[in-house]
């Protein structure tokens, strides 16, 4: 999925990706759901239950939380940057 725009921040794109993934899991009844992100900030927010202060990010946070609550055995994890970065060939 691409969220390319001049005003799109990394945090917004990552939250959109998490929400989209959670929606797909609910729609296709994929369970248990395990959310893995390259952003430790987003994982920490979900783990501690603290929504972002920015309104546009807070809405995505709560959408993802509501979707995650509908599926069993939820887990949140982060992966390292070296795992998410692929060398150019």
Taking only the tens place, the pLDDT of each residue in 17-74 is 888 888 898 899 888 878 788 888 888 888 888 999 999 899 999 998 898 888 876 7
User: Could you give the number of structural domains in the chain?
Assistant: 1
Q: Rounded CA gap, 32 and 52, in Å?
A: 25
Using the Cα atoms of residue 53, residue 42, residue 85 and residue 17 in order, give the sign of their dihedral: negative
Q: What is residue 84's predicted lDDT score, i.e. its pLDDT?
A: 54
Q: Rounded CA gap, 26 and 81, in Å?
A: 28
Within-domain flag for 5: no
Expressed as residue numbers, the domain containing 44 is 10-79
Residue with tokens 């990394």: 10
Within-domain flag for 87: no
The span from the first CA to the last CA of the chain, in angstroms, equals 21
Model-level pTM greater than 0.85? no
Q: Rounded CA gap, 76 and 9, in Å?
A: 21
């Amino acid at each position: 999925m691409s969220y390319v725009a001049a005003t799109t921040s990394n945090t917004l794109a990552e939250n959109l990706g998490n929400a989209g993934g959670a929606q797909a899991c609910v729609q296709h009844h994929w369970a248990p759901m395990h959310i893995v992100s390259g952003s430790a900030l987003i994982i920490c927010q979900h783990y501690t239950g603290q929504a972002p202060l920015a309104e546009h990010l807070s809405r995505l946070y709560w959408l993802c939380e509501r979707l995650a609550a509908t599926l069993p055995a939820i887990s949140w994890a982060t992966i390292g940057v070296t795992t998410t970065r692929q060398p150019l060939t």
